[in-house]
Amino acid sequence: MLNGGSGVDTTNGGSGNDRIIDDDFVNFDIHNGGLGIDTIDYSNVTFGSGVTINLATETTSVSGGNTETIRNFENVEGSQGGETIIGTSGANRLDGNGGNDTIQGQGGADTLIGGSGNDSLDSDTLGTVDLIGDLLDGGAGNDTLQGEAGNDTLLGGSGNDSLTGDDSTLNFGNDSLNGGSGNDTLTGAGGNDTLVGGLGSDTLNGTNSILDGAGEIDILDPGDFGARDLIILGTSGSIYYNGAGLDYAVIDNFDRFSFAGETDSDKIQISGSLSNYTLSSFTGTISDVSITNGTRINLGGEIIAYVDSSGLLTSADFISVL
């Protein structure tokens, strides 16, 4: 571990896995991590507004100020303020620490950590095709997490978060989304996704209106008891799962119970009139997905969802969008 301290510093990590600590953004420092898996650490800095830490261009720049050189680093520890952190095409660990950070991977198996604050995390550049999965952890605060291609894991943490498994241009990747605590919105988009709402009143979308189910099988789990969650199987004019039996949603832990005088039971949103759908009881295993004491939701003879609930669903469990 090397600590440059105050003043204009030149540091070289050499071989091995090094951590070089920079205590400010105001000097024209030159840092070289050298060989190994190296970390540039700004965690002692208390501000970060207007700062961009870019591993791809090997620079740390302050808007309207100076630029530092940071060569041969794989990982970043951000400041206690809010900065922009950009990775490389390789595997990076980018940690925003405090403040409202914007963090973007560029490829490789990345780990993006928002830390405290309201952060924006994007696993790759929009429109790129990187099939390697990434881990995004929003931490505390109201965060926005965006996966791209690849099998990504998105963790909202505490706060009211928005998690999306894939972008609207390239829809693939079997993603795992967990909202954590707070009132979260989870959208799996393309691929066979698993969505867990966690604590709070959450909204779960297995796919999106850009490209409907398209043969995918999604697992939607509201994840808690005592808060009202919304599971979306369709929007106005768009039925998410209707692919001649090739796609459907599995809805686990659907809560049909509410306390007296409250409206905290879960709801399922469907497209069109309720009269277009039929319900039936089902117990068994379909495509290696075990459904116990559940209900089938059928549309035109095709199964669009299996719901794990206590007892047969009724119209009161649904919201229709015409």
User: Which 3-state string (H, E, C) describes the chain?
Assistant: CEECCCCCCEEECCCCCCEEECCCCCCCCEEECCCCCCEEECCCCCCCCCEEEECCCCEEEECCCCEEEEECCCEEECCCCCCEEECCCCCCEEECCCCCCEEECCCCCCEEECCCCCCEEECCCCCCCCCCCCEEECCCCCCEEECCCCCCEEECCCCCCEEECCCCCCCCCCCEEECCCCCCEEECCCCCCEEECCCCCCEEECCCCCCCCCCCEEEEECCCCCCCCEEECEECCEECCCCCCCCEEEECCCCCCCCCCCCCCCEEEEECCHHHEEEEEEEEEECCEEEEEEEEEEECCEEEEEEECCCCCCHHHEEEEC
Q: Please, what is the Cα angle at 195 between 75 and 130, to 5 degrees?
A: 40
pLDDT at 267 over 80: yes
Longest dimension (CA), the chain: 73
Share of the chain above pLDDT 90, in %: 57
Position 303 in a domain = yes
Ranges 19-28, 139-148, 196-205: which has the least confidence? 19-28
Q: Find residue 120's DSSP bridge partners.
A: 102, 144
Looking at residue 265, its pLDDT comes to: 84
Ranges 139-143, 156-160, 280-284: which has the least confidence? 280-284
**Encoded amino acid at 282, one letter:** F
Report whether 97 contacts 78 (CB < 8 A).
Answer: yes
Residue 241 and residue 314: Cα distance in Å, rounded?
A: 20
Ranges 121-130, 178-187, 233-242, 260-269: which has the least confidence? 260-269
Position 123 in a domain = no
Which is more confident, 308 or 113? 113
Q: What's the token pair of residue 123?
A: 């696993």
Ranges 252-256, 277-281, 290-294: which has the least confidence? 290-294
Looking at residue 263, its pLDDT comes to: 60
180-190 residue pLDDT tens: 999 999 998 88
pLDDT at 243 over 70: no
Taking CA atoms, 111 is separated from 73, 121, 122, 160, 308, in Å, by 14, 10, 10, 21, 33
pLDDT band at 288 (very low <50, low <70, confident <90, very high): low
pLDDT mean over 56-75: 94
pLDDT mean over 95-103: 97
pLDDT mean over 145-156: 93
CB atoms within 10 A of CB 312: 14
In total, how many domains does the chain have?
A: 1
Closest CA relative to residue 154, chosen from 183, 187, 131: 187
Position 306 in a domain = yes
pLDDT at 258 over 70: no
Torsion of CA 37, 40, 43, 49, to 10 degrees: -130
Which is more confident, 280 or 60? 60
Position 183 in a domain = no
pLDDT at 120 over 60: yes
Position 318 in a domain = yes
Q: Which residue segment(s) compose the domain that 254 sits in?
A: 214-322
Report whether 123 contacts 112 (CB < 8 A).
Answer: yes
Share of the chain above pLDDT 70, in %: 85
State the number of CA atoms in the 13 A half-sphere of 61 facing the CB: 10
Position 107 in a domain = no
pLDDT at 22 over 60: yes
Average confidence score pLDDT of the chain: 87
Position 109 in a domain = no
Which is more confident, 110 or 189? 110
Looking at residue 14, its pLDDT comes to: 87
Position 271 in a domain = yes
Looking at residue 213, its pLDDT comes to: 54
Q: Find residue 291's DSSP bridge partners.
A: 284
Report whether 190 contacts 171 (CB < 8 A).
Answer: yes
pLDDT at 262 over 70: no
